[in-house]
Amino acid sequence: MNQISGLVLAPISVLPEYQGKGVGSQLMLEIENIAQDNSYKFISILGDSHYYSRFGYKPASTYGVIAPMEVPEEVFMIKIFDQNNDYSGLLKYAPEFKL
C-alpha cells in the first residue's frame, strides 16, 4: 500500500469586519502555495462545500478518498495537486489528532 503525504485544513475563519475583502481567498492561496512548495500532494478539509469549491476543492468521494470518521459527504473535501496519480483510499490523520 502506497502512502502519500498531504495536509488537513480546519475551516478558515475571518473576523466579520474583514469578511468580503479577500482575506479568506488570500489565506487559501497562501496555504496551497506552501503545501505545493513542500511537496504535499493534497489538502483535505472539512468545510462548507460552497465556499471551498471556489478554490477547486471537490468531495473526496470523487477520488475514492474515505474519511477516517463518519461525516457528511458534502463537507469532506479534497484538492489534489497532481491529477496524474490515483490517490484513492482511507485518509489517515496524524496521531496528534484525536478523533
Give the CATH number, domain containing residue 69.
Answer: 3.40.630.30
Residue range of the domain that includes 69: 7-90
58 DSSP β-pair partners = 78
For the chain, how many residues are written? 99
27-64, pLDDT tens digit by residue?
A: 999 999 999 999 999 999 999 999 999 999 999 999 99
- Burial class from Cβ neighbours inside 10 Å (0-12, 13-18, 19+) for residue 77 reads buried
pTM: 0.87
**Residue 69, pLDDT above cutoff 80:** yes
* Number of domains making up the chain: 1
In the chain the beta strands, taken as DSSP E runs, fall at: 7-9, 42-46, 58-59, 65-66, 76-80, 89-90
- Does 99 fall in a domain? no
